[in-house]
Amino acid sequence: MLCGTLAAREAFSADGGERMSARTGIHRPREFNVLDYGAVGDDHTDNTEAFSACLKAIMAAGGGRMVIPEGVYRGRIIIPGTRAWITIEIVGASEPTPIFGTIGAFSLPTNGTIVKCLAESGPAVISALNTPETIYQTFSGVYVILRNLQIRTYDNPSIGGVDLRHAAQCKLENVVINTGCYNVQASKPTHEGAIGLITPALDNGAQTILRNVVVTGYFTGIQVHEHTDGDNIVVASNIQGLEFCLASHASRFGRVGAYRNTHHLTVSGQHAFTIEQLNTEMPGAGQTNAENVWQTLVSDINDPKNLGAGDINYWVVLGAKGPVESFVKIGGASIRARRIGSAP
């Protein structure tokens, strides 16, 4: 039995990645552990160079999986631009706890895989560049997959969480992006460039998938570009929860939870989209203080230039009270919003 098990295992190459099994002749995903490149998850060491060395090996191999074991890893993950179609998968140890809420005060745990940057300027914690090469226009040929990660900055950040505007394609699954504090306790974001997640920009590779993604504490939670397909999304305590940008093609969302944002949805460019269920909660009586009063709702839909074309089914809850019929639109002439259970 032991011999059979050993024969079925993959052999490991010198660069730390898996290679083809001699017994089966089947390729399995090449895995590159950041620890083999000098990364240390001690919440102190700057791992930017170690991450870059790991990415260099992955790209030289034609793509693969960056494995980040449990720990708190300081530094940035910067994916270089490439003219080749390539998959870069970045995976943490386990699915993170989706921490967000509408009341109370809590500290955030430090278990799981956390990638953290406290810099006051520069790129996002994780970013995809379009240098030194592009595959077309301003896009790198990279398909970025992020899974089982917590990505952190700091209260009222001046940098972003994940910036994939130059990636051709992306998929995020089980990813929590926050500012290192529980969202109800977050200070008002004052830096417009502090965006939790930027999806691939206009004219991207038509493959943007978001599943089980939580973003809290940023000026903009998620900047949505065309072809975005999202479900089980939470944006909480941001100035703008979702921002719909200029798009030629439509986007689709299943369930979106929007809690304690100043504006749950903002439309900044022409964009067609649907949201199957927009579930919201705004602070009720006694649920804000001098530090977080900015989380009081101004609008559910902020589209003053009437750039959006959309269909939304919504349900609104007022904290400490329950469901209410209130739904606030600024503009949004071509966005049809229907309360669940009401006539079409």
- Catalogue all structural domains in the chain, each as residue range(s) with its CATH number: 29-284+294-339 (2.160.20.10)
pLDDT, tens digit, for every residue of 96-123? 999 999 999 999 999 999 999 999 999 9
Alpha-carbon Rg for the chain, nearest whole angstrom, is 21
Cα angle for residues 152, 103, 217 (degrees, 5° grid) = 25
Mean pLDDT (whole number) for 239-254: 99
Residue-wise DSSP of 247-270:
-SS-EEEEEEEEES-SEEEEE-S-
pLDDT tens-digit map of 56-78: 999 999 999 999 999 999 999 99
pLDDT at 344: 77
Q: What integer pLDDT is reported at residue 44 of this predicted model?
A: 98
Quick check: 314 and 337 in contact, CB under 8 A? Answer: yes
Q: What is the DSSP string of 146-194?
A: EEEEEEE--SS-SS-SEE-TTEEEEEEEEEEEE-SS-GGGPPPP--TT-
pLDDT over 90, % of the chain = 91
Tell me: pLDDT of 8 over 90.
Answer: no
Residue 11 has pLDDT above 80, yes or no: no
Task: Report how far residue 174's alpha carbon sits from residue 179's, in angstroms, rounded to the nearest whole number.
Answer: 17
> Residue 171 pLDDT more than 80?
yes
Quick check: 110 and 74 in contact, CB under 8 A? no
> pLDDT at residue 2 above 80?
no
Q: Which pLDDT belongs to residue 9?
A: 32
Cα of 161 vs its chain's centroid, Å: 7
Give the lowest-confidence range in 3-17, 93-107, 253-267, 327-341: 3-17
pLDDT value, residue 28: 55
Kindly indicate the confidence band of residue 323, based on its pLDDT and cuts at 50, 70 and 90: very high
Q: Please give the mean pLDDT across all residues of the chain.
A: 94
pLDDT at 151 exceeding the cut of 90: yes
Range 120-148 average pLDDT = 98
pLDDT at 26 over 90: no
Q: Examine the pLDDT at 288 and tell me if it is beyond 50.
A: yes
Average confidence (pLDDT) over 26-50: 91
Mean per-residue pLDDT for 135-155?
Answer: 99
